[in-house]
A and B are shown apart, each in its own frame.
Chain A
Amino acid sequence: MKYLYYPGCSLKSSGKLYEISLLAVLKRLGVEVEELENWNCCGATNYMSINESYAIEITARNLAIAERMVGIEMIVPCAACFMGFLKTQKYMESDPVTREKVNDLLNKAGLSYTGKVKIRHPLDVLVNHLGTDALAKTAEMPLKGIKVASYYGCQLIRPYATFDDQWNPHTMDDIARAMGATPVDWPLKSRCCSGSMTSTMTGIGLRMNYVILKEAKSRGADVIITACPLCQFNLECFQGKISRKLKEDVRIPVMYFTQLMGLAMGIPAKQLGLKQMLSPSLVLT
């Protein structure tokens, strides 16, 4: 099956290792993707804080383009984009006034959206479409003995996502298990990483990331895996600073789940961006 693919801004810059590893893994699994034409930013949380109508409208534009490209299902890897799409669909479905207003704007731009596009996160596609049995067969180099702390963050599962359990998400753990690794049970898997607060309220942002890193380490994890570019960036790129400031070593490999999958599938480290990481490398035994 062929999917449309909406990368969003982060996967083209600070989260580019997510993009390259995701595309490498999907290719290996025979999942074909085509990037959405002339897409625009989803607006993330900032548009919701300033002007909600704009936030809905610009996301609806992406949905309309997807519909024009006859994309019935679109893969959206970034948690913030993913949630933005689900929210826009929800508002357009449930509120006729919004739907009419947005469609009016779209029509003027030569677009229309009738609600046909299904938004899917890569975790959903891998676990619920391909299935963990199929994934397990691709693990040429099973990650035996590697303890994985899956970190889902917030907007990937809350408040609209239905592909995983909001209270106790497991899709990333399922994948880790299929790759031969051992998931670690820990209570902070869906606690907020503070988002962009590492750049605004730095002290608070670092503190929130410290708690997550420390908990994963104390539970014996060898690696934290994430499915969001912002979570990954915060946990990976600030762990050095946190360790220095708090005089406590909380450094630990923080990878995208797709990088971990790629490792198990025997995809060369370079193609997964593993040489470009700032956090320690995962030592395979």
Chain B
Amino acid sequence: MNASSSDILTQGLTVKLEADLDKNFGETIAREAHGEKLFGCIQCGNCSAACPLSVWMDYTPRKVIAMVRAGFKQEVLSNRTVWLCASCYQCTVECPKGIKITDVMYALKREAIENKVYPKNFPVPILARTFFNEVKRTGRINEIFLLTIYYLRYNIFKMLGYASLGMKLFMKRRLSLFEKGMSDKKEFKAMLNQ
């Protein structure tokens, strides 16, 4: 057998020993996503066809489901794919088996954060985290603060690309630095800190 045919045999294949898979991963995610019937997935691919973002994903939604239940925990959680889900719920309403795929994606995002294996310096989880902290801190989102903190944490130079748009909106009085916050944050904060 020459070299090129062995390339064909291995190219694009994820070779993993069964012993290295996380056998409980599928059940963990199904539970996290409110008992979603992942194991009832028939791999029809309607979700991937419906998803407006699947063309940019490393693994399409159909493949994600297959990998989750087979136990490819590390591969799924450390990949950017789940973070490309914009939660538009198109897959959820298209699934013939009634699997709430968007909620599965949410469960995977939370699991990746919990296990600290989400892709580092990838903008989507940084924005999510910044948003989360801002609401915890103030109860409401001020979009200017939110985006400034986000870009400081992600990449300040990227913010320059939005400078002219920001300026135009500011001139049109579409942005405000000071918005009315919550009149009383005590009880809100107490609730989150329990």
Contact = CB atoms under 8 A, between A and B. Distances in A.
A64 B175 CA distance: 30
Interface string A146-158: 0000000011001
Given A155-B89, A200-B124, A105 B143 contact: no
A40 B140 contact: yes
B84 A204 contact: yes
A199 B142 CA distance: 15
Interface stretch (B12-20, B66-74, B181-189): B181-189
A158 B101 CA distance: 13
A200 B123 contact: yes
A109 B190 contact: yes
A202 interface: yes
B93 A158 contact: yes
A67 to B, nearest CB: 15
Contacts of A109: 187-188, 190-191
Q: Which of A45, A46, A58, A196 is packed against the most chain B CB atoms within 10 Å?
A: A46
A48 B86 CA distance: 12
A238 B161 CA distance: 12
B135 A43 contact: yes
Given A41-B135, A41-B139, A195 B86 contact: yes
A182 B143 CA distance: 35
A38 B183 contact: yes
Interface in A138-188: 154-155, 158-159, 166-167
B131 A46 contact: yes
Nearest to A16: B174
Interface stretch (B2-10, B22-30, B39-47, B106-114): B106-114
Interface of A: 9-10, 12-14, 16-17, 37-41, 43-52, 54, 57-58, 61, 91, 95, 105-106, 108-111, 154-155, 158-159, 166-167, 191-192, 194-197, 199-202, 204, 208, 237-238, 241, 276-278
